[in-house]
Amino acid sequence: MVSIDFSNLKLSDYAAWWGATIATLALVWNIVTALRSGARLEVTAKPNMQSFPPNPGEEDNSYIYVKAINRGNSATTITNFCGYSADSFRDRIRKNKRQHFMVHNAPDASPIPCKLNPGDEWYGYANQELVFKKVSANYFYIGVIHNQRKKPIYKRVKINNAL
């Protein structure tokens, strides 16, 4: 076993160790900031939302409300509001998705495409009854696609709790 005798170290050796430690910490910090830079969207989806006051003729409608907040440090553009369904968690993992759909601009929602600067938020909604009438799967996901990421950001909406 190799042991280090610290009694023979000189002041320059301590300075070298100090410099190496600070340089390593600076490298780790630069890697962390590089990985966290860019646009980072935080997406939430809530079922059973109703508008108040309701629009005429839509008093009994429930909506799935989706909100995206840009928590990153650069701008991005939301290009699509979409979702999919899967029969089981295994099908979802195996990318055996049953139905894909896209939600068009709702009159009171934020328009698509929508540029989000850091700190800005976008919201949209989909008619819950119409969506769930088309979806007959156990797992339902809804979310957004933006131009700073290859994959969509989906959140699960539990169908049993939403009806």
Q: Are 41 and 69 in contact (CB under 8 A)?
A: yes
* pLDDT tens digits along 61-91: 888 889 999 998 899 999 988 888 877 777 7
38-162: CATH topology: Immunoglobulin-like (2.60.40)
- What does the alpha-carbon distance between residue 161 and residue 163 come to, in Å, rounded to a whole number? 6
Q: How many CB atoms are closer than 10 A to CB 103?
A: 21
27-to-13, 20, 21, 151 alpha-carbon distances in Å? 21, 11, 10, 29
Q: Which two tokens stand for residue 62?
A: 């429930």
Q: Where are the domains of the chain?
A: 6-35, 38-162
- What does the alpha-carbon distance between residue 2 and residue 41 come to, in Å, rounded to a whole number? 50
* pLDDT tens digits along 24-74: 999 999 999 888 888 889 999 998 888 777 777 777 788 888 999 999 889
